[in-house]
Amino acid sequence: MLPLRKPEPDLDGIGLEALVSVAIATRPDHDFLREPARRDIWSGVAGLPLSFAGLDQRARRLASLLGMSRLPERSKALILAPMGSEQLIAILAALRAGLQPVLLPLSAGSHALQGLFDAAGPCVAIATCRCGDLEPARMLRDAAARSFNARLVCGFGPDVPDGVVPLDSIIVSNKRLPDAPAPASPPGLLGLVAETGDGIRQTMLEAELVAASVALARVTRVGTDARVLSTMMNPGFCALASGPYLALLSGAEYLPLGLFSLSALWAGLSDGRAATLVAPAGIEGALRAAGIVGHETVRNLLLVHRSVPGRMSGRDDGPVRVFDLHVRGRNELVIRARERAGA
């Protein structure tokens, strides 16, 4: 078992902003984030590669738009989107605008969303317009209309409902927007909040997320020519640390599936790039039955547990290294490497 120590002092204040800045300085045109194949079926938007420079530009323009709402610093930015480009752009933009991102689960019903709006105080809301059968932007707009707390409701994608600011045309436009005012606190100190959908709220500093991704990078040995492929749907400490933060820290490509699809998962493993696969522990059996774990490109399997896992039996998976992840206490990531069969 490999318990993660609390963030060391030299990680304080380091987060997405610092990691993206380093990446832009070294590899601005490198395709960092790749969307899954046939993403347009469930989102209405075709999956396209996103470079570090593209991520920075979109987040900068969204931060300028959020700055126009003139919310007090550390106000909430409620984000309802699957793990993917829209969620990452929204997080980075909110932090740059001096707002605290609150990541909402797609499984949240209208009653739960209403309660979150009522508790948030003055806020902005950002969502995708479509995710399968769900219409997250419409859900946030309706909740905002009943609470009167939201200064701005924004939506990614086509078919933007009335009363929602269409983001796609704004964040890729060449029209100049005023720069967002620099927050008094560095972005890495603002922290994030994730509502996990089961009544649990996780509050995390970016230094804690970076420290967790450092620990994961050490044991997985993910390289710059590798891919982090995440099947996680809802946000949370483990999902963020093992997904976008691990990919940014290691320089690997990040491929979040958003909505789970076995065909999209196979497609993400088919180009020969070494893959670190992140998945909920509950689908381990299904991944093994489908032959995913034994695929020649899978080097690491990171299984995210909602609670402390029980005793795991050792199993020889050839080149695949299996790690069980869970959080205890305040964002203390515990990494447990499976023993090999016969070891």
Question: How high is the pLDDT of residue 253?
Answer: 93
Q: Where in the chain is the domain with CATH 3.40.50.980?
A: 9-202
**Phi then psi for 340, rounded to 5 degrees?**
-70, 145
Domain 9-202 top-level CATH class: alpha beta
Q: Where in the chain is the domain with CATH 3.40.50.12780?
A: 207-337
Question: How high is the pLDDT of residue 44?
Answer: 79
Distance separating alpha carbons of residues 43 and 127, to the nearest angstrom: 12
Question: Is CATH 3.40.50.12780 what the domain over 207-337 is classified as, yes or no?
Answer: yes
Residues in the chain where the model's pLDDT stays below 70: 1-13, 174, 180-190, 196-199, 309-318, 340-343
Question: How high is the pLDDT of residue 182?
Answer: 65
Distance separating alpha carbons of residues 33 and 209, to the nearest angstrom: 19
What is the sign, positive or negative, of the torsion defined by CA atoms of 270, 326, 286, 261? negative
Question: How high is the pLDDT of residue 192?
Answer: 84
Q: Which of 322, 305, 306 is nearest to 314 (CA)?
A: 322
pTM: 0.89
**How is 228-254 classified by DSSP, letter by letter?**
EEE---S--HHHHIIIIIHHHHHT-EE
What are the DSSP E strand ranges found in 284-331? 298-304, 321-328
Q: Which of 222, 296, 282 is nearest to 254 (CA)?
A: 222
| 321-328, strands of its sheet edge to edge | 2-3, 332-337, 321-328, 298-304, 275-280, 227-230, 253-256, 31-33, 50-51
Question: How high is the pLDDT of residue 150?
Answer: 87
3 state SS of 89 = helix
